[in-house]
Amino acid sequence: MAKKKSDTPDTPKHIAVVNDKSLSFFEKYINNPSPTGFEWKGQELWLDYLKPYIDDYYVDNYGTAVGIINKKAEYKVVIEAHADEISWFVNYITSDGLIYVIRNGGSDHQIAPSKRVNIHTDKGIVKAVFGWPAIHTRTAGEKEEAPTLKNIFLDCGCTSKDEVEKLGIHVGCVITYEDEFMVLNDRYYVGRALDNRAGGFMIAEVARLLKENKVKLPFGLYIVNAVQEEIGLRGAEMIAHHIKPNVAIVTDVTHDTQTPMINKITQGDLACGRGPVVSYAPAVQNNLNKLLIETAEKAKIPFQRQASSRSTGTDTDAFAYSNDGVPSALISLPLRYMHTTVEMIHKEDVDNVIRLIYEALLNIKAGQDFRYIK
Ligand SMILES: [Zn+2]
């Protein structure tokens, strides 16, 4: 008998995970603003989606939300993402009614001019725009001024500070962009703060798969959507201390380096569509990382590798260095244009991160000891 030719000998067929119902939740979740320190509305949406798939939940004083499966189990495994969205704060209102801002997280001054924003006030959303001097009014031949925190400003259509305040705007109001979710070329999800609300979505999808496949885990699973990552991993620090987990698998985004002006020599060679990214960094526990890689190989999930100097800059560090050291690892989702309003992630990568976390959980044993020397 002649050897049958297979269609794609090397690339295994992609297994889709996200369905219509989960996608519609994802869209709603992304369109809802969730500024750092003010995440509770997004956390409510997330918990509502998660509740059918968990036994119990817990929300801490600052808004980190945790879905729990097998609450009584002694051995605890965390899967984690962060819930917060970078934003701006109103910092100074001028006498003629313009507003200067400061960052809440790593918001990018370069992309601000000409964007429409939502200012969050006690009276509800107030609209404004980041103005910018017209090209005609800038002096030709002179070096152009770049947008910085010192010159970007919001215009909400007022002519005095009094008018601005009457709209409900005061120093300390948070500001988010109004850009919404879309699907690009049936291949990419695009939106603001997919970093890292895509992560919250993916860990919720893991819980859905566990429930639908009637998996009985031999340990307690803590599905953690942490607040305040963008200003220094703060929500993860708080909740790691509270849960005291034995293992933590964190998911966040990382840079796709295939677009212009990104140097692969310093940033590595990572691409959307080539699968989840595993990280090498001192905070990543190598035996747990090996488990992830073996899981990916066994389940035929494509993956990429990334190295980080010193720290990963993700909640992985917060979990790793908590509670006398928690074996932690990071599964990153490649993303284009981080901290802009058009962050892009590949649909297949989203499915594959969900699958990798799910399959890794099936491979972790209750009481598993990850130490290098026993
Ligand atoms: Zn970020």
The per-residue pLDDT for range 301-315, each reduced to its tens digit, is 999 999 999 899 999
Give Cα separations from 150 to 26, 106, 130 (angstroms): 35, 16, 13
pLDDT score of 201: 98
Q: How many CB atoms lie within 10 A of CB 181?
A: 16
Residue 345 forms beta bridges with which residues?
189
Ligand 1 centroid distance, CA of 193 (Å): 8
Ligand 1 centroid distance, CA of 197 (Å): 10
Ligand 1 centroid distance, CA of 313 (Å): 9
Give exposure, 43-68, as e/b (b: 16+ Cβ within 10 Å).
bebbbebbeebbeeeeebeebbbbbb
Largest CA distance in the chain: 86
Ligand 1 centroid distance, CA of 40 (Å): 18
Ligand 1 centroid distance, CA of 106 (Å): 7
Are 278 and 305 contacting, i.e. CB atoms less than 8 angstroms apart? yes
pLDDT score of 310: 87
In this prediction, residues 260-277 reach a mean pLDDT of 98
Are 48 and 192 contacting, i.e. CB atoms less than 8 angstroms apart? no
Given a cut of 70, is residue 2 above it in pLDDT?
no
For the segment 20-54, what is each residue's pLDDT rounded down to a tens digit? 999 999 999 999 999 999 999 999 999 999 999 99
Are 83 and 147 contacting, i.e. CB atoms less than 8 angstroms apart? no
> Average model confidence (pLDDT) for the chain?
96
In this prediction, residues 266-278 reach a mean pLDDT of 98
* CA pair distance 362, 210, nearest whole angstrom: 9
pLDDT score of 274: 98
In this prediction, residues 335-342 reach a mean pLDDT of 98
Ligand 1 centroid distance, CA of 196 (Å): 7
Residue 142: band (very low, low, confident or very high) from pLDDT cuts 50, 70, 90: confident
In this prediction, residues 111-135 reach a mean pLDDT of 97
Q: What percent of the chain has pLDDT over 70?
A: 97
| Planar angle of CA 55, 58, 61, nearest 5 degrees | 175
For the segment 101-120, what is each residue's pLDDT rounded down to a tens digit? 999 999 999 999 999 999 99
Answer yes or no: pTM beyond 0.85: yes
pLDDT score of 9: 56
Given a cut of 70, is residue 373 above it in pLDDT?
yes
